[in-house]
Amino acid sequence: MVIIAVEGTTDAEFFQDLLQHLGIASTQYEFKNFKGKDNIFQLANNHYQAIEQEQDIIDALLIAIDADDPKDTCPIRGYHETDQKIKQLINDLDFDIPIDYYIFSDQEKQSGYLESFLLSVLDETQQQCVNEFKSCYQYELTDKWVFNTFYKQKQYPFDYNHPNFTDLKNKLQNLFEGI
């Protein structure tokens, strides 16, 4: 079994769709919803204690986390800071199972969220439409707002063959190989 640590419900729903697309049975994974990025970095979190106690039945752990916007005033924001902190977390966890991670962001800017990642795989026409709307709108719109307003409720069919999915699909296939 692979444990997938996520920040929230939206992340779990995304992974469930992607894993189904990859043909991976739901009996081969379990989600641990940490209810926020900052909670993922808490070593004393109950989810980590449960994983530690069940290492004998867990094949691997994947931690999925947002890069967030480096302009945020909160700690651990931005791709580089998140990357450094997640590496330290993995070292501190010191589990006897393989641990990997994936940082969601806009692939070009290396900032943002799961929603930024999903917007980055839209076709050129949809990206142009979103960018034009954002540029003429009076207020700054986050990728989360754009995604949740225009795509989440419509269940926009993301093309899992888009090159931006390659690294994530490879990580997942490697984690589930041989299980």
Domains and their CATH numbers in the chain: 2-176 (3.40.50)
Q: Which helix (H) or strand (E) holds 71?
A: none
Please give the pLDDT value at position 72: 76
DSSP letters, 111-124, are BB-HHHHHHHTS-H
pLDDT of residue 159: 85
Quick count: other Cβ atoms within 10 Å of Cβ 158? 19
- List, for residues 86-142, the tens digit of each pLDDT value: 999 999 999 999 999 999 998 788 889 999 998 888 888 988 988 898 888 888 888
The residue whose two tokens read 């969601």 is 104
Is the sign of the CA dihedral 165, 168, 170, 173 positive or negative? negative
> According to the model, what pLDDT value does residue 35 have?
97
| CA atoms of 138 and 159, how far apart (whole Å) | 31
Q: Is pLDDT at 153 greater than 70 in this prediction?
A: no
CB atoms within 10 A of CB 80: 13
90 half-sphere exposure, CB direction, 13 A CA radius: 18
The position carrying tokens 């707002």 is: 145
Cα 158 from Cα 118, distance rounded (Å): 8
Q: Is 138 helix (H, G, I), strand (E, B) or coil?
A: coil
CB neighbours of 75 closer than 8 A, spacing ≥ 6?
Answer: 38, 81
Reported as a single tens digit per residue, the pLDDT across 124-137 is 898 898 889 888 88
Confidence of residue 61 (pLDDT cuts 50, 70, 90): very high
Mean pLDDT of the residues in the chain: 91
